[in-house]
Amino acid sequence: MFTKILIANRGEIACRVIKTAQKMGIKTVAVYSDADRDARHVMMADEAVNIGPAPSRESYLLADKIIAACKQTGAQAVHPGYGFLSENAGFAKRVEEEGIVFIGPKHHSIAAMGDKIESKKLAGAAGVNCIPGVNDAIETPERAVEIAQSIGYPVMIKASAGGGGKGLRVAFNDKEAFEGFTSCRNEARNSFGDDRVFIEKFVEEPRHIEIQLVGDSFGNVIYLNERECSIQRRHQKVIEEAPSPFISEATRKAMGEQAVQLAKAVNYQSAGTVEFVVGKDQSFYFLEMNTRLQVEHPVTECITGLDLVELMIRVAAGEKLPLTQAEVKREGWAIECRINAEDPFRNFLPSTGRLVRFQPPTETMFAADTSQWQGVRVDTGVQDGGEIPMFYDSMIAKLIVHGKDRLDAIAKMREALNGFVIRGISSNIPFQAALLAHPRFVAGDFNTGFIAENYSQGFRAEDVPHDDADLLIALAAFVNRKYRNRATHISGQMEGHEVEVGEEFVVVTLGQKGQTTPTPVTVTDFEKKTGSSLVTVGASSYKICSNYRLGEVRISGTFNGEPFTAQVERGGLASKNPLAIRVSHNGTQIDTLVLSTRAAALYELMPYKAPPDMSRFVLSPMPGLLVEVAVEPGQKVQAGERVAVIEAMKMENVLFAAADGVVKSIVARKGESMAVDQVIVEFV
Residues designated catalytic: 288
Q: Is the peptide bond before 612 cis (omega within 30 degrees of 0)?
A: no
Residue-wise DSSP of 365-403: S-TT--S--SSEEEEES--TT-EE-TTS--EEEEEEEEE
- Residue 323: name the closest of 306, 301, 302 by CA: 306
φ and ψ at residue 298, rounded to 5 degrees? -60, -30
CA angle 668, 670, 672 (to 5 degrees): 65
Cα separation, 580 vs 287, whole angstroms: 50
315-347 burial, b for 16+ CB within 10 Å, e for fewer?
Answer: bbbeeebeeeeeebeeebbbbbbbbbbbbbbbe
How far, CA to CA in Å, does 409 sit from each of 163, 319, 350, 367, 381? 28, 34, 28, 18, 24
Residue-wise DSSP of 81-150: -SSTTTT-HHHHHHHHHTT-EESSS-HHHHHHHTSHHHHHHHHHHTT--B-SEE-SPP--HHHHHHHHHH
Contacts of 370 (CB under 8 A, 6+ apart): 301, 305, 306, 307
φ and ψ at residue 236, rounded to 5 degrees? -105, 130
Neighbours of 397 (CB within 10 A): 22
Residue 620 amino acid letter? S
21 in helix, strand or coil?
A: helix
Cα separation, 225 vs 210, whole angstroms: 9
The 3-state secondary structure of 418-472 reads: HCCEEECCCCCHHHHHHHHHCHHHHHCCCCCCHHHHHCCCCCCHHHCCCCCHHHH
Alpha helical stretches, state H, 173-248: 174-192
Helices and strands (DSSP H and E) totals, the chain = 17, 39
Return left, alpha or beta for 168; rule: phi > 0 is left, psi -120 to 50 is alpha, else beta: beta
In this structure, the strands spanning 679-683 and 376-380 are unpaired
Cα separation, 276 vs 289, whole angstroms: 9
Cα separation, 681 vs 684, whole angstroms: 10
In this structure, the strands spanning 271-278 and 349-350 are unpaired
Which stretch of DSSP H or E encloses residue 25?
none
Cα separation, 429 vs 387, whole angstroms: 18
In this structure, the strands spanning 376-380 and 421-423 are unpaired
Neighbours of 355 (CB within 10 A): 20
